[in-house]
Amino acid sequence: MRRVDKKPSLISVIVPFYNLRDCVGYCMESLLAQDYDGDHEFILIDDGSTDGTGDLLDGYALSPRVRVIHQKNAGQSCARNRGVLEAHGDYVTFVDGDDVVSPHYLSLLANALSRSGAEQVIGGHLIVPGTRAIPALEWSDSREYELLDREGFLSQFLYGGGMAAAWAHLASRKTYLANPFASGRYYEDDMAFGAQVLSAASFALLKEPIYGYMRRAGSTVRPANTSLKQLHDFRAAIQSIEDAVKPFLPGCASGLIYHKALEFTRLFRIARHCNEGGEEPRSCQVEALSYVRRNLMGLLVDPGVRRGDKARFLAIAGAPWLYTQLIEAHERREMRRATPHF
């Protein structure tokens, strides 16, 4: 893989906020603590907040690196797209307004981009319990990364149970201008995966987590009372990832089956908690169970499938309702600690 030295002249950090008054302080504290000595800017998008979030953000505009933009509520995708349009940087990264980042977030992303010559850089994340007291997080300043081509990255993503996330990710502004986020959709990162991520031919994957993902009650990854639209969009997101990977088949076939089976276990739970839609949630549960059961033997013998996920597939195939109860009990325990994910 040919390496081309790249160094961003300016990195734009785009942070959408909507009614996150209680989160503004810790999010901004982590952003303003960056040790990166290169040029960078923070673009804070107040997406029509009604709880005073916008006023708090205006207080940070005193910093020469911070710009605050207020708009009518249009959703996270539109807020991100607005940030891209307003950005001055040649490279862009996103942070969600209720999350935190390592003090080395920008320096490690920029260093990997410059040293590797990769088109995009992706870091790992910690899942942080969504409590009032944010736990003290220990961040590594390791500059180690792995340089991968598109097929190698896809294998890591599909077998690693990776999240298609805009955060912990550095890519050119041109990428997002050409491929904006779909507006009015849940799981917009998954839907943009093919156009935004797989448009690149090379990737540098950081070895250590750089992002703290706050798992709050009621988040879309912990479905307590979901709508039919969330169900529709999650099913569409699964299909979007599959469509993005299809050009790389058959090489990624087993990885795609694994990733899709994991997503179908989540679809099953979302459908079970859907509070509307009549027979549709039930048909999604049937589809999810059928897919896992149809591919169960292949998943069990695939050496790339993690042992815990093999147990997950066996459980949902044999006792889906008990599986759901066990998973939710596990997630309640997980909320009490921070764990690394890549």
Task: Evaluate whether residue 221 is within a structural domain.
Answer: no
Average pLDDT, the chain: 89
- For residues 209 and 258, membership in a common domain is answered with no
- For residues 267 and 329, membership in a common domain is answered with yes
- For residues 262 and 124, membership in a common domain is answered with no
pLDDT number for residue 214: 87
Examine the fold and report which residue of 167, 193, 215 is the final residue of a domain before the chain moves on. 215
Examine the fold and report which residue of 191, 215, 239 is the final residue of a domain before the chain moves on. 215
- The label of the residue with tokens 């710009």 reads 67
First to last CA, the chain: 23
Q: Which helix (H) or strand (E) holds 103?
A: none
- For residues 106 and 193, membership in a common domain is answered with yes
- For residues 189 and 57, membership in a common domain is answered with yes
Task: Evaluate whether residue 223 is within a structural domain.
Answer: no
Number of compact structural domains in the chain? 2
pLDDT number for residue 327: 72
- For residues 208 and 258, membership in a common domain is answered with no
In whole angstroms, give the CA distance from residue 164 to residue 155: 13
pLDDT band of 127, cuts 50, 70, 90 = confident
Cβ contact 338:126 at 8 Å: yes
Examine the fold and report which residue of 215, 238, 258 is the final residue of a domain before the chain moves on. 215
Task: Evaluate whether residue 5 is within a structural domain.
Answer: no
pLDDT number for residue 326: 75
- For residues 37 and 169, membership in a common domain is answered with yes
Cβ contact 179:225 at 8 Å: no
Task: Evaluate whether residue 27 is within a structural domain.
Answer: yes
Task: Evaluate whether residue 126 is within a structural domain.
Answer: yes
- For residues 200 and 244, membership in a common domain is answered with no
Task: Evaluate whether residue 2 is within a structural domain.
Answer: no
The answer to whether the Cα torsion of 176, 177, 179, 183 is positive or negative is: positive
pLDDT number for residue 295: 98
Task: Evaluate whether residue 102 is within a structural domain.
Answer: yes
208-251 pLDDT, tens per residue? 999 999 876 545 445 557 889 999 999 999 999 999 999 998 98
282-332 pLDDT, tens per residue? 999 999 999 999 999 999 999 999 999 999 999 999 998 888 777 777 666
Cβ contact 128:338 at 8 Å: yes
The answer to whether the Cα torsion of 229, 230, 234, 235 is positive or negative is: negative
pLDDT number for residue 267: 93
- For residues 135 and 255, membership in a common domain is answered with no
Nearest to 199 by CA among 266, 259, 154, 242: 154
The overall pTM is greater than 0.75? yes
In whole angstroms, give the CA distance from residue 160 to residue 257: 13
Task: Evaluate whether residue 148 is within a structural domain.
Answer: yes
The answer to whether the Cα torsion of 199, 204, 209, 212 is positive or negative is: negative
- In terms of C-beta density within 10 A (0-12 exposed, 13-18 middle, 19 or more buried), how is residue 21 classed? middle
- For residues 274 and 245, membership in a common domain is answered with yes
The boundaries of the domain holding residue 297 are 228-341
- The label of the residue with tokens 């790389």 reads 248
In whole angstroms, give the CA distance from residue 267 to residue 288: 7
- For residues 303 and 165, membership in a common domain is answered with no
89-117 pLDDT, tens per residue? 999 999 999 999 999 999 999 999 999 99
In whole angstroms, give the CA distance from residue 118 to residue 150: 11
- For residues 53 and 151, membership in a common domain is answered with yes
pLDDT band of 333, cuts 50, 70, 90 = low
pLDDT, average across residues 164-188:
92
